[in-house]
Amino acid sequence: MTETPRQRQHRQTMVDILRIAHQQLGTEGSAGLSLRAIARELGLVSSAIYRYVPSRDELLTVLIEESYNSLGDAVEAAESRCRRVDLGRRWLAIGRAVRIWAVANPAEWALLYGSPVPGYQAPPERTTAAGSRVPLLLLGLLADAKLEPTADDPPMTGALHHELDRLRPGLSSELEPEVLARGLLAFSSLWGLVSLELFGQLTNTVTQFASHLDHQLARLGAVLGLPEPA
């Protein structure tokens, strides 16, 4: 179906709004997003922008959806280039791709994983699916590895075991709670390493960030029970 001139103009204006909003994230942070400032830069009267974005919260939600999907696209593309049987290489590809995307998009990483925006609550029906793409990719890797609990897994309280066991149907995964706990450790460690780098918390400690990440990914791969990359 051919776009009408009005539809084409609306689409282009939305593209411009999001472009400027991403610029604002980099200069002002998520809490400093301003629809009035965006309207001013586009040469619109302040009231006109609300025909495109009804509120700042809606703009934040769109930016979060867009950023989660951009991260998901990048990580899925990197992981898909690995041979399915090379489980260690797939884990390394996931970790490296997360960092590469974050370094290229620090403001968006901060929006997703930094301090919450005061007064804003992301609607789960809009953001959960996009935000789950990379964690589900990791779960798929663990499932392909057919991992099982081992004697190296620390004892788990009954309450925690029950809590993780209840997650399994929603994850469409038959992974045992002990394996899920390893996955959560790997996920939180990877996200923590990237955040520490981006938020300047490794100053005067580590400068070889890519090599440091590879080293820690290898260690985490061993904790997960994955073979070394082929």
pLDDT digits (tens, 9 = 90+) for 1-16: 678 888 888 899 999 9
Using CA atoms, how far apart are residues 197 and 207, in angstroms rounded to an integer?
9
Nearest to 134 by CA among 194, 199, 47, 83: 194
pLDDT digits (tens, 9 = 90+) for 15-66: 999 999 999 999 999 989 999 999 999 999 888 999 999 999 999 999 999 9
pLDDT surpasses 70 at 172: no
Query: Considering the entire predicted model, what is its pTM?
Result: 0.93
Biggest distance spanned by C-alpha atoms of the chain: 66
Domain boundaries 1-54, CATH class: mainly alpha
The domain segmentation of the chain, as residue ranges, is 1-54, 57-224
57-224 in CATH: which number?
1.10.357.10
Using CA atoms, how far apart are residues 41 and 11, in angstroms rounded to an integer?
17
